[in-house]
Amino acid sequence: MTNNILLNMTGLPPFSKINLSDIEPAMDQVLKESREQVKHFLDGNTAYTWDNLVMPLELIDERISRIWSPVSHMNSVVNSDELREAYNACLPKLSEYSTEMGQNEKLFNAYKQISESDNFSQLDESQQKIINNSIRDFRLSGVELVEEEKLRYKEIMQELSNLTSKYEQNLLDATNVWKKEIQDVHLLDGLPESSKALAKQVAENEGKDGYLLSLEFPSYYPIMLYADNRELREEMHRAYSTRASDLGDTQWDNSPLMDEIIRLRQESAKLLGFNSYSERSLATKMAASTGQVLGFLNDLVEKSLPVAKKEHEELQAFAKKECGVDTLEAWDVPYFSEKLREHTYAISQEEIKPYFSEDNVLSGLFSVVNRLYGLEIAELDSIDTWHKDVRFFEIKDSHGELRGQFYLDLYARPNKRGGAWMDDCLTRLVIDDQVQAPVAYLTCNFSPPIGDLPALFTHTEVITMFHEFGHGLHHMLTKVDYPSVSGISGVPWDAVELPSQFMENWCWEKSALDNMAKHYETGEPLPDELFNKMIAARNFQAGMQMVRQLEFSIFDFRIHAELFKETGKETTEANGAGIYEILNQVRQKVAVVKAPEFNRFAHGFSHIFAGGYAAGYYSYKWAEVLSADAFSLFEEEGVFDQSAGKRFLENILEKGGSKEPMDMFVAFRGREPKIEALLRHSGITA
Residue 468 annotated to the active site? yes
Secondary structure class of 273 (helix, strand, coil)? coil
Phi, psi for 307 (deg, rounded to 5):
-65, -45
Q: Each residue of 232-287: pLDDT tens digit?
A: 999 999 999 999 999 998 999 999 999 999 999 999 999 999 999 999 999 999 99
Is the Cβ–Cβ distance between 594 and 330 less than 8 Å? yes
pLDDT-derived band at 77, boundaries 50, 70, 90: very high
pLDDT, residue 574, reads 56
Residues in the chain, how many?
686
Q: Are 642 and 632 within 8 A, CB to CB?
A: no
* Mean pLDDT, residues 21-47: 94
Helices (H), 78-104: 81-102
pLDDT of residue 685: 82
Strands (E) located in 38-141: none
Q: Where are the alpha helices (DSSP H) in 505-649?
A: 510-513, 528-536, 542-562, 579-590, 606-609, 619-637, 642-648
Q: How far apart are CA 357 and CA 519, in angstroms?
A: 8
Residue 12's beta-bridge partner residues?
none
The dihedral through the CA atoms of 53, 58, 63, 68 has a sign that is: positive
Residue 521: exposure state from Cβ atoms within 10 A (0-12, 13-18, ≥19): exposed
DSSP 637-681: H-TT-HHHHHHHIIIIITTTTSS-HHHHHHHHHSS---SHHHHHH
Contacts of residue 403, Cβ cutoff 8 Å, sequence gap at least 6: 375, 395, 396, 397, 437, 438, 476, 477
The CATH number for 254-346+541-615, chosen from 1.10.1370.10, 3.30.450.20, 1.10.10.10, 3.40.50.360, is 1.10.1370.10
Q: Which of 62, 168, 468, 624 is catalytic?
A: 468
Average pLDDT of span 454-478: 97
Judging by beta carbons within 10 Å of its beta carbon (0-12, 13-18, 19+), is residue 282 exposed, middle or buried? buried
Distance separating alpha carbons of residues 292 and 284, to the nearest angstrom: 15
| CA 304 from centroid of its chain's CA atoms | 24
Gyration radius (Cα) of the chain, Å: 25
pLDDT tens profile 302-360: 999 999 999 999 999 999 998 899 999 999 999 999 999 999 999 988 899 999 999 99
Q: What is the 3-state secondary structure (H, E, C) of 204-220?
A: HHCCCCCEEEECCHHHH
pLDDT at 489 over 80: yes
623, 645, 650, 662: which is closest to 478 by C-alpha? 650
Decide if pLDDT at 1 tops 70.
no
DSSP strand pairing (421-426 vs 439-446) = antiparallel
Q: CB-based burial of residue 2 (10 Å sphere; 0-12 exposed, 13-18 middle, 19+ buried)? A: exposed
Q: What is the CB neighbour count within 10 angstroms for residue 167? A: 24
Residue ranges of domains in the chain? 5-172, 178-243, 254-346+541-615, 353-526
Q: Per-residue pLDDT for 18 more than 60?
A: yes
For the cut 80, the answer to whether the pLDDT of residue 542 exceeds it is: yes
The mean pLDDT value of the chain amounts to 95
User: CB-hemisphere CA count at 13 Å for 667?
Assistant: 16
What CATH architecture is 5-172?
Orthogonal Bundle (1.10)
Please state, for a pLDDT cut of 90, what percent of the chain lies above it.
94
546 and 553 Cβ atoms separated by less than 8 Å: no
Look up residue 476 and give its amino acid: M
Q: How confident is the model at residue 2 (pLDDT cuts 50, 70, 90)?
A: low
CA distances from 179 to 254, 450, 538, 647 (A): 20, 20, 34, 50
Q: Bigger pLDDT: 300 or 3? A: 300
44-63 burial, b for 16+ CB within 10 Å, e for fewer?
eeeebbbeebbbebbebbbb
- How far is the C-alpha of 530 from the C-alpha of 537, rounded, in Å? 11
Residue 454 DSSP one-character state: P
41: confidence class by pLDDT, cuts 50, 70, 90 = very high
pLDDT tens digits, residue range 358-383?
A: 999 999 999 999 999 999 999 999 99
Residue 568 has pLDDT above 60, yes or no: no
Q: How far apart are CA 432 and CA 368, in angstroms?
A: 34
Helical spans, DSSP H, in 246-375: 255-271, 277-281, 290-323, 333-345, 349-352, 358-373
Average pLDDT over residues 9-38: 97
- Coil/strand/helix, residue 40: helix
pLDDT at 350: 87
Give the pLDDT of residue 565.
62
- Residue 192 burial (CB count, 10 A): 17
How far separated are the first and last CA of the chain, in Å rounded? 65
Q: How confident is the model at residue 573 (pLDDT cuts 50, 70, 90)?
A: low
From residue 545, alpha-carbon distances to 333, 485, 593, 613 in Å are 12, 34, 11, 19
CATH number 1.10.1370.40 given to 353-526:
yes
Query: Which stretches does DSSP call E strand in 135-229?
Result: 179-182, 211-214
Alpha-carbon gap, residue 11 to 618, rounded angstroms: 36
What is the predicted pLDDT for the residue at 243? 97
Q: Is the pTM of this model over 0.75?
A: yes
Average pLDDT over residues 550-573: 79
Question: Would the CATH topology of 5-172 be identical to that of 254-346+541-615?
Answer: yes
- Mean pLDDT computed over 563-583: 69
Pairing of strands 571-574, 564-568: antiparallel
* 440: enclosing H helix or E strand: strand 439-446
Quick one: average pLDDT of 499-512? 97
